[in-house]
With several copies, the nearest count.
Chain A
């Protein structure tokens, strides 16, 4: 159904349930939907599983969500950064679960979920700690490991511009995980810098078609 244009970020994340899996876009701060995460903190949902490339930077956004004690588990490729002290503290204190997934596998598992595929045979991580216990097989002389879809109940993504239907365009490397996450969650919320009239975006340049977007909010 066509996207709803929300009045504010609180309306955009209303109804998020405890125990949800939330896909959060961004790579570092580029494309990171900080205002939506702030709204999710206000909204109060807890016991969350967060899927994002990193595990929070500094004290804002995802780091603030972690600091507020709302997150049971983080699925990400790279938690450890110079400014990931909030995650590091929780992890060392045994207060948060961590699943480390190679970055490309993280992206592809979400694409797989969005594309209705049951799983894929990946050459990434074969023979490493990160695929221990996963099924392997040889195909055409090469070893692969079975990777399964990764779905979200909610995706929070940052885009550049939306039209009123919910079509999205991004800006530079802030595109990163947004288009993939938009395909992989039951409810997709996009924050954008600007909402334009339907017909104002060039149809050749739409990166995330409105079919994937449930709610849009300008920030």
Chain B
């Protein structure tokens, strides 16, 4: 990976430590505009909901056919007919609307959601996303709505750790895992830094616990030489 692909220019260190999942979720929540229509995918991204300002009027979409989804249902609120995309019982807020799957995905594919937040195995510096399949020969492939979300929302945010457990960076020159979408990710939130992505590569927005130069060096050290 070359300096052209990750541009650290001027990125400030805004926290003195790498962020944990909740801190990252709070950071993403802060960046979602008031009144935005947002899909939070499945798993870690759903944490963002807990950090949204309830007065900001952010409206959550769930791809199984609902707008204005409320928090997880507890106790008597649990209704088997009301779940989120992760099949977890949820609640409805005033102003909710239900619709069928073709309408829900027309909404996604048609670019009507302002933001979606997804997890990822890998993201390329030009915004390619790999988050549905490890490529392992014995893995059972399963995509759900990931590909529709990746190419549909106006802004696609990824939240992930910057490094895999073995230390290799997950922000890569080129994804080695099977792709979910090409050039579709606009911003990546990681424990060590936030990156803006585009056709010309990545730009660091802010870092947590390292300087931008230290991070770039660590990413380059962990990235295998390009075979092209």
Chain B residues lying within 8 Å of A106, measured Cβ to Cβ, are 101
Closest to B66 in A: A173
Residues A175 and B109 in contact in the complex (CB < 8 Å), given A27-B83, A203-B92: no
Chain B residues lying within 8 Å of A100, measured Cβ to Cβ, are 141-143
Chain A residues lying within 8 Å of B10, measured Cβ to Cβ, are none
Chain A residues lying within 8 Å of B95, measured Cβ to Cβ, are 163, 165, 167, 198-199, 201, 203, 210
Residues A210 and B147 in contact in the complex (CB < 8 Å), given A100-B141, A111-B102, A172-B98: no
* Interface status of A9 (Cβ within 8 A of chain B): no
Stretch at the interface among A10-18, A37-45, A59-67, A74-82: A74-82
Q: How far is the CB of A170 from chain B (nearest CB, A)?
A: 8
Q: How far is the CB of B149 from chain A (nearest CB, A)?
A: 9
Chain A residues lying within 8 Å of B61, measured Cβ to Cβ, are 211
* Interface status of A103 (Cβ within 8 A of chain B): yes
In the assembled complex, the Cα of A108 lies from the Cα of B103 at a distance in Å of 9
One digit per residue, 1 when the CB lies within 8 angstroms of any chain A CB and 0 when it does not, for chain B 90-111 equals 0010111111111011111111
Chain B residues lying within 8 Å of A124, measured Cβ to Cβ, are 109, 147-148, 151-152
> B102 near A107 (CB under 8 angstroms)?
yes
One digit per residue, 1 when the CB lies within 8 angstroms of any chain A CB and 0 when it does not, for chain B 160-199 equals 0000000000000000001111100000000000000000
* Interface status of A171 (Cβ within 8 A of chain B): yes
In the assembled complex, the Cα of A209 lies from the Cα of B35 at a distance in Å of 14
- What 8 A-B pairs have minimum CB-CB distances, sorted nearest first? A104-B105, A199-B94, A116-B109, A115-B106, A104-B148, A28-B87, A206-B97, A203-B96
B interface residue numbers (CB < 8 A to A): 33-37, 57, 59, 61-68, 79-83, 87, 92, 94-102, 104-114, 133, 138, 140-148, 151-152, 178-182
Using a Cβ–Cβ cut-off of 8 Å, how many residues does chain A contribute to the interface with B?
70
One digit per residue, 1 when the CB lies within 8 angstroms of any chain B CB and 0 when it does not, for chain A 203-219 equals 11011011110000000
A interface residue numbers (CB < 8 A to B): 1-2, 27-31, 53, 77-81, 87-88, 91-92, 98, 100-108, 110-111, 113-117, 122-130, 160, 163, 165, 167, 170-180, 183, 198-199, 201, 203-204, 206-207, 209-212
Closest to A212 in B: B112
Closest to A199 in B: B94
Chain A residues lying within 8 Å of B133, measured Cβ to Cβ, are 129
> B106 near A116 (CB under 8 angstroms)?
yes
Q: How far is the CB of A191 from chain B (nearest CB, A)?
A: 14
Residues A92 and B138 in contact in the complex (CB < 8 Å), given A27-B64, A126-B182: yes
> B64 near A30 (CB under 8 angstroms)?
yes
In the assembled complex, the Cα of A172 lies from the Cα of B80 at a distance in Å of 9
Chain B residues lying within 8 Å of A201, measured Cβ to Cβ, are 95
Chain B residues lying within 8 Å of A126, measured Cβ to Cβ, are 151, 181-182
> A130 near B98 (CB under 8 angstroms)?
no
